[in-house]
Amino acid sequence: MLETLRTARGVARSLLIYRGNSTRRVALRQFYSGFVGAGDLVFDVGAHVGDRVAAFRRLGARVVAVEPQPALAKTLQILFGHDKGVVIEPVALGANDGTIALRLNLDNPTISTVSEAFVQAARDAPGWRDQSWTKTITTRMTTLDGLIRRHGMPAFIKIDVEGFEAEVLAGLSRPSAALSFEFTTIMPEAAKRCVARCLELGYRHFNAMLGESLVFVHGQPQSADDIVHWLEHLPFEANSGDVYAMLD
């Protein structure tokens, strides 16, 4: 009973933070209009409570929402289950098909993860010490290539999976027009692995935003070397953000 209450409180907190602000909803739509248009297909990997799903739908895109956490997958079903333009995939993504352990943070569902390295990095990091992953479940895992075989080639892929982004990109063999992946300053090498994988896939233009600012840090697209240099010189207090990779 206590666990259920903690989970419900965590989900409610996330709904308030990510979906309770009308100004933010407008900003999300404006920001993603540079990547997504009517009729496009988008993969939202780590869909959480669906703030990005809603933004993509407002832009007229079809969305595959990937979310392995049972409570959040159920929340997405409640929010979007009636919408034929949204497919909910309650799975994790990685380099291969199979199963994987999912570490749940009941009080803060947004940072539940399949990355043991992420949990270890957060354990003693300033600003993270009050976070705890108190439950582990086994979840099904597939790949981006597997999603493409089932749903088609997306125009844009958003990846936010708490330290497992490089493994997700390892499961992609041909690029979409653009993608984004989250980075954290507690795992700087993971971000550089993601950039390297993007280069292998053919991406040549990069930009970034800090936190949930929805504003690019750089006025013009950067090279891979430039974005890695920027990542390497971020202060630890920057905490997190997203790198965007584009073919053109």
| Percent helix / strand / coil, the chain, rounded to 5 | 40, 25, 35
Residue predicted with more confidence, 163 or 14: 163
Q: Into how many domains does the chain fold?
A: 1
In this structure, what token pair is assigned to residue 240?
């997190």
Please give the Cα distance from 138 to 99 (Å, whole number).
Answer: 7
| CATH number of the domain to which 197 belongs | 3.40.50.150
Please give the Cα distance from 180 to 237 (Å, whole number).
Answer: 21
Please give the Cα distance from 75 to 8 (Å, whole number).
Answer: 10
Q: pLDDT tens digits for 140-197?
A: 999 999 999 999 999 999 999 999 999 999 999 999 999 999 999 999 999 999 999 9
Helix (H) or strand (E) holding 32, with range, is helix 22-32
Whether residue 233 is predicted with pLDDT greater than 90 in this model: the reply is yes
Instruction: Find, among 66, 248, 95, 65, the residue nearest to 172 by Cα.
Output: 95
Average pLDDT (56-71) is 97
In the chain, where do the E strands start and end?
41-45, 62-66, 86-89, 92-93, 98-104, 135-142, 156-159, 178-184, 205-210, 240-246
Q: Which pTM does this prediction carry?
A: 0.95
Whether residue 33 is predicted with pLDDT greater than 80 in this model: the reply is yes
Instruction: Find, among 100, 99, 131, 137, the residue nearest to 118 by Cα.
Output: 131
Looking at residue 1, its pLDDT comes to: 61
Domain range for 230: 2-246
